Amino acid sequence: MQKILAEKRTVFGKKVKDLRDRGLVPAIVYGGPEEPSALSVGAKDLIKIYKQAGESSMIELEVSGVGKKSVLIHEITFDPIKSFPLHVDFHEVAADHTIKIHVPIIFIGESSAVESLGGVLVKVMHEIEVEALPKNLPHEISVDLVMLRDFTDTISVKDIKPPHGVEIIGENDAIIAKVVPPRTEEEIASLENQTSINIEDIAVMKKGKKEEEAEDSAGEE
């Protein structure tokens, strides 16, 4: 379990700017048996642990003079220009109670429907809700694209095999990913208006289309 140190905070409002100038981030921890408490944590430590744990992995928050708490990073507010963390909310959780949380979906492997048939990969879902004890919460859920062998195949919630002690929440038939046949320029333009298609895949599709056109032009010369 990742660990981060914290100090009790006695400054609020505009005065927290002094904290940030010293490389500290104002924080709040709530959700436990006690009232929410105001804290401060080191900005560098917070950024490092956020990259490693995200919002779905347990963190041990050690508060000077108080003790240790098991928490999740509930939300971080960043400066839109400097990308510096401005504030963080921690959510304290009980070790013996299951909790529900959304975790990111990581796509692995290669789809032969894309590689061999030239299809376009459509990632319908990018995160999924799970329920587990805090100690069993996964940082992410992996989905293997090898299951997409042709254009009739889909990957649904029911196809996911969660880690031990983890339950997937959601409709079994909800589609996570699929592959559609190659598209014309007009169809690609239409797909760009749909939120379910991955923009990177459209970019790749366009690149392939341009290469084909270049080859056709070269053949005519």
Average pLDDT taken over every residue of the chain: 83
188 and 218, same domain (yes or no): yes
Residue span of the structural domain in which 51 resides:
2-92
C-alpha to C-alpha distances, 6 to 75, 130, 164, 172, nearest whole angstrom: 16, 29, 32, 41
> Given 63, 92, 121, which residue is the final one in a domain?
92
Stretch (H or E) spanning 38: strand 37-42
Q: Same domain for 26 and 61?
A: yes
Q: What is the model's pLDDT at position 147?
A: 95
Residue 35 parent element (H or E): none
Same domain, 6 and 87: yes
Structure tokens at 43: 């900005």
Of 108, 151, 161, the residue nearest 130 (C-alpha):
161
In this predicted structure, what is the pLDDT of residue 28? Answer: 93
pLDDT for 51 equals: 87
Q: What is the pLDDT of residue 151?
A: 92
CATH of the domain at 65: 2.40.240.10
- Residue ranges of the chain with per-residue pLDDT less than 70: 184-185, 187-221
Alpha carbon distance 212, 221 (integer Å): 15
Task: Check whether residue 67 and residue 10 sit in a common domain.
Answer: yes
Query: What's the domain count of the chain?
Result: 3
Look at residue 217 in the predicted model and tell me its pLDDT.
Answer: 46
Same domain, 23 and 45: yes
Mind giving me the DSSP string for 91-150?
EE--TTS-EEEEEEEEEES--HHHHTT--EEEE--SEEEEEE-GGG--S-EEEEGGG--S
Would you state the pLDDT for residue 2? 82
According to DSSP, the residues that pair with 8 across neighbouring strands are 39
Same domain, 122 and 59: no
Do 50 and 76 contact (CB within 8 A), yes or no? yes
Report the distance separating Cα 148 and Cα 172, nearest Å.
17
pLDDT of 29 reads 92
C-beta of residue 73 within 8 angstroms of C-beta of residue 26: no
Q: Are residues 171 and 197 in the same domain?
A: no
Pairing of strands 67-78, 99-108: unpaired
Looking at residue 124, its pLDDT comes to 92
